[in-house]
Structure 1
Amino acid sequence: MDLKNQYSDDSFVIFLHIQKTAGMTLQRYLRKQFGPGLVRRIWWKISKDPRIDGDVVTAARARRKSDGFFAGHFAFGMHENLPKPATYMAFFREPVSRVISLYKHSKNDEGSYYHEFAKNQDLRGFVTESGLMELDNGMVRFLCGEPGEYFINRVPVGSVDDAMLKKAIENFDRYFFFGGIQEMFDESFLLLAQKLGDTDPKYLTLNVAKPNAGQPFDDETKEMIRRSNAYDMTLYDHVKRRFERELAEAFPDLDQRLDRLQTANTAYNGRTKTLNRMKIAINRNRAGN
């Protein structure tokens, strides 16, 4: 298997985007690092290039080494369809928080993939009655993978076991050059940027939910989610330990690095929002003429 757990200049990066783990922000950053730029993406769309116009497997198989990276909601194993040598990356989130975030997104966004499952359900009903595998140790399922199945491991709900957890941890340790922590996003971003050789890291904040938006959830339901995602809790703790060790080794001056990142982000996001407002005003003016 031509996979590794280190990034180098010849690596093809595979971003395994687990739902509700900062994917939009990271995908924009990876495009900034690797491309394609906006003009190229527009051309891909116009020309119906399979790298953007096909299903996820077709899009993966159409990727070239020069494309640099591939991202999406898929399981470990997608590397079989992508250029080599390759290495994986992913962000992870405390499992109860991830399930709640997926529920709120699914319930409130009519265009979300699972809206029909959530729109008439409370949180407990969404988890216990939907039968969605993503809510049943979904992070382990994504990292474990399944031969011939590129979205998620599809063992029945309640059937994730010790062997699957062991496989998920083994895949992470052997084939992931980076595992970030959602709750420590800025620290994770700094570490990712360093691994990619980015000396001027900054990111554009995208698709961020308002903190504590919506109704509170009872402790009994949250404990039920925690118990039913016990394997995800173990995987999350494992990833977090490695992350914290790598972070401490990489940044003895972490507080200063974070201050610089936050200053750069404030300026970067401010400039971008100003440009976007100008574009909107220009387009409205054109529409009125």
Structure 2
Amino acid sequence: MVYANELIIFIHIAKTGGTTLRGILDKQYGSNSLFMYAHETFENLNSEDKLVNMLKSHINNVKSISGHFGFGMKYNGIDTPLLYLMDTSRNIVYISILRNPVERLFSQYHHYKRNNWIDFDITFEKFVKQNLYIPNYQTLCLSGTNIPNLEIAKRNIIKHFALVG
């Protein structure tokens, strides 16, 4: 199914294969039609208003927004999901990819080690026991809340998602 006028929001949950899906969106719609929501882009925009204004300047000119955020474009440190603070006449369609949680966590562990975000000698067991990760991260992203909420995540998937792979 091709969505002609909808705004496709791709919740790219880290370590689930989302970079591949983002590449498919790029080929389908062209890189000028995509807005890549990167944490680094917003680090210096330290207020809700600045974040909303930046997104407003893009939201009607792109086909898809993708990035590491939660449902409604929930941004870490901002209580209200950003899409709730903007007016858009476009229908919003969500897509995302999930992965076996243990496999995703193991991949995240190795990613952290490769990027020196944790000490190289930390074992996977210690990584888990010391909570050096966000528990129930996939549920957190799909619920768009400050704490993981499985019921809200399931409701969001049923009501708002065109694809969860």
TM-score category (smaller protein): 0.7 to 0.9
* 2:133 is aligned with 1:177: no
Whole-Å separation in 1 of the counterparts to 2:41 and 2:68: 14
Compared CA separation, residues 7 and 137, structure 1 to 2 (3 A): farther
**Matched-pair contact (CA < 8 Å) for 1:90–1:179:** yes
Write the deviation string for residues 229-255 of structure 1: whole angstroms up to 9, x where unpaired.
xxxxxxxxxxxxxxxxxxxxxxxxxxx
Compared CA separation, residues 88 and 7, structure 1 to 2 (3 A): farther
Whole-Å separation in 2 of the counterparts to 1:61 and 1:19: 25
**Matched-pair contact (CA < 8 Å) for 1:63–1:82:** no
Alignment root-mean-square deviation, CA: 3.0
Structure 2 gap segments, 5+ residues each: 44-50, 74-82
**Matched-pair contact (CA < 8 Å) for 1:34–1:67:** no
Matched position secondary structure for 2:31? coil
Write the deviation string for residues 1-57 of structure 1: whole angstroms up to 9, x where unpaired.
xxxxx86311100000011111222112212222225xx99xx9xxxxxx8883184
Matched position secondary structure for 2:94? strand
Whole-Å separation in 2 of the counterparts to 1:145 and 1:127: 23
1:189-268 mapped onto 2 (5 Å cutoff): none
Whole-Å separation in 1 of the counterparts to 2:91 and 2:126: 43
Compared CA separation, residues 82 and 128, structure 1 to 2 (3 A): farther
How far did 1:82 drift? 7.8
Which of the two has greater strand per residue?
Answer: 2
How far did 1:125 drift? 1.1
Q: Which amino acid aligns with 2:11?
A: L
Compared CA separation, residues 82 and 29, structure 1 to 2 (3 A): farther
1:144-155 mapped onto 2 (5 Å cutoff): 144-146=143-145, 153=146, 155=147
Q: Which amino acid aligns with 1:165?
A: L
Q: Tell me which residue corresponds to 2:42.
A: 55
How far did 1:88 drift? 0.5
**Matched-pair contact (CA < 8 Å) for 1:87–1:175:** yes
Write the deviation string for residues 72-104 of structure 1: whole angstroms up to 9, x where unpaired.
000012233584311100000011111101111
* Deviation >6 Å, runs of 4+: none
Matched position secondary structure for 1:126? helix
TM-score (norm 1): 0.44
Matched position secondary structure for 2:164? strand
1:57-76 mapped onto 2 (5 Å cutoff): 57=51, 59-76=54-71
Compared CA separation, residues 54 and 62, structure 1 to 2 (3 A): farther
Identity %: 27
Which of the two has greater helix per residue?
Answer: 1
Matched position secondary structure for 1:97? helix
1:83-98 mapped onto 2 (5 Å cutoff): 83=88, 84-98=90-104
Whole-Å separation in 2 of the counterparts to 1:145 and 1:105: 24
How far did 1:127 drift? 1.5
**Matched-pair contact (CA < 8 Å) for 1:35–1:68:** no
TM-score (norm 2): 0.74
